[in-house]
Structure 1
Amino acid sequence: MSETSTESPARILVVDDDPTVAEVVTGYLERSGYEVQRAGDGRAALHLFAARRPDLVVLDLMLPGVDGLEVCRRLRATEAGRDLPVVMLTAKGDEEDRILGLEVGADDYVTKPFSPRELVLRVRSVLRRSGPGAAAASGPASAGARLRAGDLEVDRSARRAFRAGRELALTLREFDLLAFLLQHPGTVFPREELMQRVWGWDFGDLSTVTVHVRRLREKIERDPGAPELISTVWGVGYRFDPAPTAGGTS
């Protein structure tokens, strides 16, 4: 039994066309205290999302009709689905499929065959970092709820980010990554450390970090091909270099 709580259980949408996998995943999630809805294809998933927005989606990559990649794209194209946590399932071990899933906006992924317990841990981790306590958990209290660097501003309490006054459309992990980098300007972080401190995992595919850095650059850099804010320190990792404020020296 899950621990007693006065809060409503998180709602999870499980999308998988394999009834056995969907049933096992649903059982483990429900026993962990989550409220679960199931969809067997992409169209049904989009319909359920529109009818009642879940708190997280467990999304199979290989679906009949509208596949998981297209479902994720469509979710991300809506305001309600912009920062919706998505954990993608893929039956393929091919790196290209994992990269595609991350490129279209998945926050995390699990490769089939997988341990249902591992999936529950991933779901719990993603929800923990997207819930009301995420801002407090993502860094030291002294960092404050608002972070600024040049014309970039992050409101950790509201989970909103702006550049030059214009709100940025960031996914859950993109927001976490940007907030973390703004807290540590000028510090070089290896991908392994970013995986641990932003994703909360001591293990995982480091290409997850690479893809998220690339996606974040596309949203905050004036020229993503020649980044000025998030620099690659070859052989080490990434460093955030704050842009000078308007009227400052370059």
Structure 2
Amino acid sequence: MLAMSSNPDSPRVLICDDDAEIREGLVQVFERAGFTAYAAPDVAAMERTLAAKGADLIVMDLMMPGEDGLSATKRLSGKGAPPIIMLSALGDDADRIVGLEIGADDYLAKPCNPRELVARARAVLRRGKDADQPAKSDSVRFAGFRLDVARRELHDPDGVVMPLSAGEFRLLRAFVERPQRVLSREQLLDYAFDNDSEVFDRAVDVQVSRLRKKLERPGIEVIRTVRGEGYLFAVKPTS
């Protein structure tokens, strides 16, 4: 059964978890924090609710019957879906990296502190608002690509739109706004991930690797690794 609060002006969070006790508890946590909260027991119900009511953020359990959270996150990422925070009883670094690699915006291990989850939710929503603000130019060109900042779309040299997760978009924007200078992992954490303590160096490397693959062109190195220092956006963008 779906649950929700009644405040139409508050941020909307959609919780997808097959454990009824956890769902109901998180709905109460978010409602007390001023959110409008919905809940769904599985991915299919989540998508019906998303289509009917919309959401500003999804909190997704990793392990569920039917389609699991990893599969759903990978499928939804980069297709205009809201940002996703993944929850999982699997909490080691490898699992965090997988979650971030397939497009989750944040990852918390169960059991998590409810106040921390709400704080993470606010941080993810804040990053989304910051990313929606216009850059120096609403359209940036580099190496044949065009980044439409306002629409959050990357067009390849043939004009085809390439899907970007929210994390990839923030990372690419951080690079194009600071071209031809070495950015350390700590700086990228600050620019693209709000210096989230749970997004660590290895996760930055994974996000850079994913983005680099999308920007590969023969004879052109767009993102260069500077050993021991960080990464450099090696081409000069133009508006």
- When normalised by structure 1's length, the TM-score is 0.81
Query: What is aligned with 1:99?
Result: 97
Query: What is aligned with 1:166?
Result: 160
Query: What is aligned with 2:72?
Result: 71
SS at the partner of 2:205? helix
Alpha-carbon separation, structure 1, partners of 2:220 and 2:49: 39
Query: What is aligned with 1:221?
Result: 216
Alpha-carbon separation, structure 2, partners of 1:244 and 1:197: 18
SS at the partner of 1:93? coil
The answer as to 2:231 corresponding to 1:234 is no
Query: What is aligned with 2:124?
Result: 126
Query: What is aligned with 2:4?
Result: none
Code of the residue aligned with 2:180 in structure 1: it is: G
1:222 Cα deviation (Å)? 2.6
Deviates more, 1:6-15 or 1:26-35: 6-15
1:29 Cα deviation (Å)? 1.5
Query: What is aligned with 1:18?
Result: 19
Match of residue 203, structure 1, among 153, 178, 197: 197
In the alignment, structure 2 segments of 5+ residues that lack a partner are 1-6
1:191 Cα deviation (Å)? 1.3
Code of the residue aligned with 2:182 in structure 1: it is: V
Code of the residue aligned with 1:31 in structure 2: it is: R
Alpha-carbon separation, structure 2, partners of 1:241 and 1:80: 29
Query: What is aligned with 2:31?
Result: 30
In the alignment, structure 1 segments of 5+ residues that lack a partner are 1-5, 246-250
Alpha-carbon separation, structure 1, partners of 2:92 and 2:220: 29
Aligned residues between the structures: 230
Query: What is aligned with 1:85?
Result: 83
Alpha-carbon separation, structure 2, partners of 1:76 and 1:195: 20
Alpha-carbon separation, structure 1, partners of 2:185 and 2:23: 33
Alpha-carbon separation, structure 1, partners of 2:74 and 2:14: 16
Aligned-pair identity in percent equals 40
Alpha-carbon separation, structure 1, partners of 2:188 and 2:210: 15
Alpha-carbon separation, structure 1, partners of 2:9 and 2:237: 44
SS at the partner of 1:13? strand
Is the 1:25–1:116 contact (alpha carbons within 8 Å) kept by the matching residues of 2? yes
1:239 Cα deviation (Å)? 1.0
Q: Deviations over 1:100-148 (max 9, x none)?
A: 21222111111122111111111111112223x5343x86xxx333333
RMSD: 2.6
Deviates more, 1:202-211 or 1:170-179: 202-211
Alpha-carbon separation, structure 2, partners of 1:212 and 1:227: 19
Alpha-carbon separation, structure 2, partners of 1:185 and 1:7: 41
The answer as to 2:148 corresponding to 1:151 is no
Alpha-carbon separation, structure 2, partners of 1:35 and 1:217: 37
Alpha-carbon separation, structure 2, partners of 1:58 and 1:198: 20
Is the 1:147–1:179 contact (alpha carbons within 8 Å) kept by the matching residues of 2? no
SS at the partner of 2:59? strand
- When normalised by structure 2's length, the TM-score is 0.85
Is the 1:217–1:227 contact (alpha carbons within 8 Å) kept by the matching residues of 2? no
Query: What is aligned with 2:3?
Result: none
